[in-house]
Structure 1
Amino acid sequence: MPYIYDCFYQANQSGVPMIRPLVMEFPEQDELESISDQFMVGDSLLLAPMLRPEQDHRVVTLPQGLWIDYFTGEQYQGGVHLYRAPLERFPLLVRAGAILPQAELCQYLGEKPETLGFKLFLDESVKGQGYCHYADDGLSFDHQDGGYWKLQLEYTYEGGDLMISSQILHQGYTPDFSSVEIEICSGQPTHIYLNGQQQEVNDKLILTLS
């Protein structure tokens, strides 16, 4: 939900739609012009729906570069692949280098998560990346008068060194969560720094908001 909300915010600010044909995101790759049964959600997720009953596999055409299966972590290089997907999941692939926000599992829409999560899909071919997360109350028009919250998360990843920084850009609204959990979903960093402080090499880091 946080990623989709961010995509709608970006669409509102830039006019670029949340749902995009592959050729819109990768106009230099002519082989994608005829792909009509796959699409991008924002600039980081590629979705290839299963379109027939009882279908458990399909051909997926990936743009150039590395792509990571959101559910399994399996990695694919750009090109044509036969993708097997059982009933409980569908082809959802993450662009290498992406930062994806995520919320804790909620049982109903109004439930308030205590932690905001970010997944980092690292790859040595992507030396750095940034992501701006937006939040407001989701109910009123207060955001038009500055009632919103924005967090900028950035990283550089080179030679095994992962350096993560965070900055609150706007604080006109107080979010329900009080901490941020950063999960490293790919790559093998040997040293990790969070806002200049060296961290234990771990798959998950906790950032307390102030």
Structure 2
Amino acid sequence: MRIHREGLATILLTFVVLTLINVAVTFFLRENFPLLARIIAAVSLALFLFIISFFRIPARAMKQGESLVIAPCDGKVVVIEETYEPEYFKDKRLQVSIFMSPANVHVNRNPISGQVKLSQYHSGKYLVAWHPKSSTENERHTVVIGNDKAEVLVRQIAGALARRIVNYLKPGMQVKQNEELGFIKFGSRVDIYLPVGTPVSVEMNQVVRAGQTVIATI
């Protein structure tokens, strides 16, 4: 396991702030309120370990296949439905949405290999990630990757807590399946749009893992 580069500044800042708090607590409270000082120290340690775990990148054996659409993120499947996609395709698509909790690994990966056709950031609201309108009204970043078999749209969506979307792709880039697409800080959601009729390999409420779980077969 290693720590993602997106977390280095956050981890350092958290360490400095918690250290200052605990130095102050030790100076002012330890003598008269030793139990409170120990509780604050324990909570600080737990918080620091949680921040580190949030930015973890576990070692994984990635699954690959030119006909496979691999999960772009860790989380739970919350939507599988046909819907109208208004930004790029402007027609009906099969939508699969994955909700990412704060405890999930938050690296986002390319579901297929191909050329980046679109990479577009949109500012917006911060509705809870499971809100029906979060796909079109929240802060988000849309990417379309295309190859000889299909074009797949991946949309990173910010939520009530996640207010920092990072995306590494630019139009025209050639990308490989399972390479890093981006990062969403502190929980949110990723939508995938596939051609209607694409056989889906996941079910509602299924837990999936980026780079390993097959979402669909093109």
Asked which structure has the greater RCO (Cα within 8 Å, sep 6+), the reply is 2
Instruction: Decide: shared fold, TM above 0.5.
Output: no
Identify the structure with the greater strand proportion.
Answer: 1
* TM-score, normalisation: structure 2: 0.26
Between structure 1 and structure 2, the one with the greater Rg is: 2
TM-score (norm 1): 0.27
